[in-house]
Amino acid sequence: MRKWICLSLISVVCGFLSVHAAVQSDNTKPFAGKWEYWEDNCQFQLELDLYSTPTDGSYGYYSLSEDGYGLAYSIVDIYLIDETGASVAVEGSMGKQNAEFKYNPTTQEVTFLPPGADPVAFRQKDKYNYVFVNGGDKIDVRSTPVSGAPLMKADRGQSFRVLGKENGWFKVELSAKDKRVGYLSPEYASYLKDNTIPQEAFTKIYARDLTSFALERHGDHVFMEKTTMYPPQGESIPTPTLEYYAGEIEGNAVIFTHFSGMPTQDINKMGLIEPYVIYYWKEPGIFIMEGENYAESM
């Protein structure tokens, strides 16, 4: 009887530890991500991943910039790390020095303690919650880092909610509807803080080469008039072809599902099409269509 009780207790404890380890591996990696905030004219940035072996000798960086003045540290070594703290070596203009990171699980704040300076706290609202594809088109999102099976092809400009990093790869949610987890190579993706499209983006004309388009937003719907110029044979004046699309916004994407060859903003008079998607990149203020950049027409 006593032996049976001991075995049962061991089983319970082992089960608890395995569950705890699984939770820890998924949810308590606070020292991976990117943060940014402004205080007056001063910009603070932190990007790091203390859980993966770096390929360039750096685990990340901290930077401060204000009116032409700059301070930057590269994280070059890790001495100790646990769930709430890390002791590291940073390298800057003064050479290699010691520094620390602290994590508050209650507030989810990550605090950097730079050498010889006041602590800098990065809050949850300062964190970049998305990544987007900016280094190629039709990029594989894989089931595991590096060699996992392809789950989908990601368009250039497409954004994903980031869940963390694993072996240096971005761990992402495939979409708001498809909650499966996939992995994106950092070679093709970068952090994105805001994946929304501002209202003013729908009041401009965007162009590249012989193609341009204008957008209008009416409630939940977005309408696009797309113009493509085709120079006819033997003539110097190009002739335009006009196409009309209607769709809705999802994150930084406009997903067009209706089409017409005639001018209309009545969706009921438009035909259904396979989704045709364009993506907004907020920092330069451009749209990405079929893998190409379309800037505001001046």
* Whole-number pLDDT of residue 24: 37
* Whole-number pLDDT of residue 262: 96
Q: Based on the fold, state whether residues 218 and 265 are members of the same structural domain.
A: yes
Q: Based on the fold, state whether residues 142 and 179 are members of the same structural domain.
A: yes
Number of neighbouring beta carbons within 10 Å of residue 41: 8
CA distance 272 to 257: 6
* Whole-number pLDDT of residue 117: 93
CA distance 86 to 82: 6
Distant-in-sequence, close-in-space partners of 73: CB < 8 Å, separation ≥ 6? 61, 62, 63, 90, 91, 92, 99, 114
In a domain, residue 19? The reply is no
In a domain, residue 150? The reply is yes
Range of the domain at 44: 32-126
- Kindly tell me the number of DSSP H helices and DSSP E strands found in the chain: 1, 23
- Tens digits of residue pLDDT in 91-124: 999 999 999 999 999 999 999 999 999 999 999 9
In a domain, residue 21? The reply is no
In a domain, residue 206? The reply is yes
Q: Based on the fold, state whether residues 157 and 204 are members of the same structural domain.
A: no
Query: Could you tell me the end-to-end alpha-carbon distance of the chain, in angstroms, rounded to an integer?
Result: 85
Q: Based on the fold, state whether residues 289 and 244 are members of the same structural domain.
A: yes
Q: In this structure, what CATH number is given to the domain that contains residue 160?
A: 2.30.30.40
Cβ atoms 169, 185 nearer than 8 A:
yes
Q: Answer with the one of 173, 192, 211 that is the final residue of a domain.
A: 192
Cβ atoms 184, 143 nearer than 8 A:
no
In a domain, residue 22? The reply is no
Q: Answer with the one of 151, 170, 192 that is the final residue of a domain.
A: 192
In a domain, residue 164? The reply is yes
Chunked mean pLDDT (size 10), the chain, 298 residues: 42 40 54 96 97 92 93 98 98 97 97 96 97 92 97 97 93 94 96 94 96 95 95 74 97 97 95 98 94 93
* Whole-number pLDDT of residue 27: 55
* Whole-number pLDDT of residue 139: 96
What is the domain count for the chain?
A: 3
* Whole-number pLDDT of residue 4: 45
Q: Answer with the one of 138, 168, 192 that is the final residue of a domain.
A: 192
Q: Based on the fold, state whether residues 143 and 94 are members of the same structural domain.
A: no
CA distance 239 to 226: 13
* Whole-number pLDDT of residue 41: 93
| Beta-strand relationship, 221-230 and 211-218 | antiparallel
